[in-house]
Amino acid sequence: MPKMKTRRAVAKRIRVTAKGKVKIKKANLRHILTKKQQDNKRDARKAGYLNSKDGENMLKNAPYLRR
């Protein structure tokens, strides 16, 4: 059986925690920050986690990131 290719775009955007959750960075923190509320910017700094089904779909595209 040949090796599966990892989708590099997915691999660069996700990390897998020790318990198997998929960790992502939240959006809306790149540019035009003056118009955005401080609460939204503060919340976007925290890590985001995908729900189980979305995480499962992401890991299909990056099969070797599992631990």
Residue 30 token pair: 């790149």
What does the mean pLDDT of the chain come to? 95
Q: Do 58 and 65 contact (CB within 8 A), yes or no?
A: no
Q: Tens digit of pLDDT for each residue in 34-43?
A: 999 999 999 9
Q: What is the largest CA-CA distance in the chain?
A: 52
- Which pLDDT score, from 0 to 100, does residue 67 have? 61
Which residue shows structure tokens 């960790």?
23
Full-model pTM: 0.83
Sheet strands side by side (includes 14-16): 14-16, 22-25, 47-49
CA atoms of 38 and 44, how far apart (whole Å): 10
Q: Which amino acid is at 46?
A: K
- Which pLDDT score, from 0 to 100, does residue 7 have? 96
- Which pLDDT score, from 0 to 100, does residue 59 have? 95
